[in-house]
Amino acid sequence: MSEFNKTCPFEDRYIKLDQAYHECAKGFTKGSCNRFVAEIKLFLPEYDCQRSFDSTEKVEYIVPAIWLTGAAQEDFVDLLYKLASGNEFYKAKWFKSARRQAKAVFLSPEFENTLDGYMAEMYFPLIEEMRRKHHQ
């Protein structure tokens, strides 16, 4: 691959993801959590995303689009987990669809493939626990 960030959704979608995150995190009920889950899902497939430090003289790396969100990734993943796990704040009926969608994304291989380092250590056990409960 000789060009990067041509199909990466970060530039076009980050503001929408961040806005939906803040609205959902505050409990706005007019579809904000559904929008958040739909937006974060767009950041999971493999694209041509690359940060400035994802290349060396010999190797060019691509990374998940969610990694381009920097420190906000932790907040996004935490909210996805809260929705998926049925956190008390999101138990109301108007979050039901978003909870179901979040759970599907949280348990997906695409999401799991975006986790590494601290995020993997933190969320892999929670994914496994949720899968066990899901299959009981």
pLDDT, tens digit, 9 for 90 and up, residues 61-105: 888 999 989 999 999 999 999 999 988 988 888 899 999 999 999
Can you list the pairs that 41-45 forms with residues at least 24 positions away whose Cβ atoms lie under 8 Å? 41/105, 41/110, 42/9, 42/13, 42/17, 43/9, 43/10, 43/13, 43/17, 43/69, 43/114, 44/105, 44/108, 44/110, 44/111, 44/113, 44/114, 45/110
pLDDT, tens digit, 9 for 90 and up, residues 22-59: 999 998 878 999 999 999 999 998 888 888 887 777 77
pLDDT of residue 136: 59
pLDDT of residue 59: 77
Angle at 64 (CA atoms; ends 90, 14), nearest 5 degrees: 60
